[in-house]
Amino acid sequence: MKNEPTKTGLFFGSFNPIHLGHLMIASYMIEFTDIHDVWFVISPHNPLKDKSTLLPDVNRLYMVNVALEDEPRFKASNIEFHLPQPSYTIDTLTYLQEKHPSHEFILLAGSDILPTLHKWKNHKQLLNQYKFYIYPRPSSSSSPFENHPSISFVNAPMIEISASFIRKAILAGKDMQYFLPAKVWKYVEEMGFYR
């Protein structure tokens, strides 16, 4: 009998910085859905975005690694650092599926992606080939994809912490240690990031 594929959630993001909200969502997906593990896929720098707010790839990868090191079901992935830029989700998934045929990859995303999903490269192919587990995000608007068979809404707690809020707070001199994993906060402090 053929082994069932390992259901792996892919959590894409810039993780600038990774914070406790990210870890809560990943943990919820493992504990309350059929996902076995979660790979945090760190997005490389987008040349169209303001570089001043985004730490270099190597620093963000380090923070994700130290945030996840005590949880074997979480894994940091820098796969998009080695693929052609800009990164498109369909290309990353095609590559990962070739490299890891024993995994069934499921996209984990906030409900705020749905109104612009039609703009994603090959979005119809994505929806035909992959499942999306969608968690609630503040101020999301409705979308025609809400009833698509590949879209499943997961009743995770609404988490209103964002990396941009944390960056602005650090810049304003606020103590954000309880919003970040302890080792991430220590690194941010030591390096003087976001100040």
194 within domain boundaries: no
- C-alpha 195/C-alpha 186 separation (Å) is 14
Domain boundaries, position 129: 6-160
193 within domain boundaries: no
pLDDT digits (tens, 9 = 90+) for 108-167: 999 989 999 999 999 999 999 999 999 998 776 778 888 899 999 999 998 889 999 999
The answer to whether residue 2 scores a pLDDT higher than 80 is: no
Please tell me the predicted confidence (pLDDT) of residue 120.
Answer: 93
153 within domain boundaries: yes
174 within domain boundaries: no
Q: What is the pTM (predicted TM-score) of this model?
A: 0.93
Average pLDDT of span 49-78 = 92
184 within domain boundaries: no
166 within domain boundaries: no
123 within domain boundaries: yes
Average pLDDT of span 2-27 = 94
189 within domain boundaries: no
Domain count, the chain: 1
The CATH number assigned to the domain holding 81 equals 3.40.50.620
